[in-house]
Chain A
Amino acid sequence: MQYMILIYEPESAFEGEAGKNRLTDIVAKHMALSGELRASGVQKDGAGLQGSATATTIKTNGGVQTLHDGPFAETREHLGGYYLIDVPDLDAALAVARRVPVADGGMVEVRPLMVH
């Protein structure tokens, strides 16, 4: 089964000089995990996203589309990246998700992909 692991983190964790170091550190951990998961065939895809300041949102209301600056929701935590993995079941997916590095206050969400 394929699962998307969505990473939500407070962007404030990566601001300033200390934040920059934290980011370098966490990216290195992602590279290591991703390398291992790809080598074992578990990971199908994945990427980090640029900051939420780069986001543009298109809303559809009553058939009319409008463009908005910024991410869709005003929250402290933002979608910062994802892993797409293929594992036998939810327990296996959760085991991978537990290993995904996040900044303090961050969280990961595990969602199965639709099966067609």
Chain B
Amino acid sequence: MKRYGAAISAARPRVVAALAARLRDLDLAEDAFADACASALTAWPMQAPRDPAGWLWRAALRRAIDAKRRAAVRARAQLDPPDPLPTPEEALMAADEPIPDERLKLIFVCCHPALAPDSRAALTLKVVCGLSTPRLARAFFVAEPAMLQRITRAKKKIAGAGVPFEVPGRDAWPERLEAVLTTLEIAYAQAYEDAALAGETAGFAAEVLRLSGLLAELMPGEPEVLGLAALVRFAEARRPARLDDVGAMVPPPEQDIGLWRRDLIAQGAALLDRAAAAAASGPRQILAAIHACHCARAETGVTPWADIAALYDVLAAIRPHAATAVNRAVAIGEARGAEAGLAALAQVQGVEDWLPYQAALAGLSAKAGRRADARAAYAAALALDPPPAERLYLERRRRETS
């Protein structure tokens, strides 16, 4: 059963996107896919399909067309005479065509500015990446019924208001692209947060990697699109080194560079170079440049902390955010000493209950030799329920401090 689960997960984004683009109905696409999966679990043990994605696509499309017919019949409360000629759908299914990759269209649908901003990221993760409603509720800090309602409302708006399943024309890009980039950024942040990539998040980072690459291929002249694709590649390049052999998190400066994926670093660097050629900077390019600095250790042996701190200065100016302020303080702590870092961190207000803040405070305090402060901050960080890999790391640091 597990074997089939993996094949279904791998096929899901492509098949659901293709169904949604064909049917122009997100609910119907998701339901039909679920039905097809149920059939697959019965049919595949008897005869394994040559192309699982193709099998699921055909099965789901058949289900969806049946469901549409039944709904139409119910609406007219009478039976249709049989069709004299094959419908375009029947012709299509007979043609055994490969699944069109419609994910980009689906992303633009899910990120349409006519939808509430807080719904777009959740909907994209749900529909394009297949995250469950409970997982989304946890990721966005809302109750499950509220998340379900948010997604349902967004789907209703798409269907009711006639949001087109198309990649918009170039004249609409400035408005539409910003929404897509923000959504993918939020989506990737959810995947990056968990170093161990346990459970449902597995495969999800890979999906954002693919989607950002696809967007970069489609919009090669958009520097922020290239910046986002570069950022995801630099960050994913280090993933194999993010856990040690007992499963504890390893921060970038301590990672074994032998484990980094040089192919992804090279791709990221090439994308960032192309973005720079457009001479229009933006937050994703700056974030990518920060990641590039961390990756530079693979070549030079040292992390250029002064450069990283300077980049965080720029990012904090154009897009102020608590995470930026905390990371900036950590970089300053490395570049100019722990006391300077603590001074920068003291400027960040109202985030005492936030794990990255307490972890940064603990690290900087320990580095400054303020052992009591460090112990208190490690205790506060551990009380904030960190993911397992980060918990192991923080516990070890706390032991080293006492």
Contacts and interface: CB of A to CB of B under 8 A. Distances in A.
Contacts of A110: 161
Q: Is the interface of B mostly helix, strand, loop or mixed?
A: loop
Q: Is the interface of A mostly helix, strand, loop or mixed?
A: mixed
B350 interface: no
A89 B163 contact: yes
Interface in B103-122: 112, 114
Interface residues of B, number: 10
A91 interface: yes
B65 to A, nearest CB: 19
Interface stretch (B164-172, B274-282, B330-338): B164-172
B172 A91 contact: yes
Contact of A1 (B114, B162, B172): B162
Contacts of A91: 163-164, 166, 168, 172
Interface in B157-194: 160-164, 166, 168, 172
Nearest to B160: A112
B384 to A, nearest CB: 42
A22 B376 CA distance: 67
Contacts, number: 26
A88 interface: yes
Contacts of A1: 162
A90 interface: yes
Interface residues of A, number: 11
A90 B115 CA distance: 12
Interface string B130-171: 000000000000000000000000000000111110101000
A44 to B, nearest CB: 16
A19 B163 CA distance: 37
B164 A88 contact: yes
A108 interface: no
A93 interface: yes
7 contacts: A1-B162, A90-B161, A91-B164, A91-B166, A93-B162, A110-B161, A112-B161
Interface of A: 1, 3, 88-94, 110, 112
Interface of B: 112, 114, 160-164, 166, 168, 172
Complex A-B, nearest 7 residue pairs according to Cβ-Cβ distance, in ascending order: A89-B164, A1-B162, A90-B162, A89-B162, A90-B163, A90-B161, A91-B164
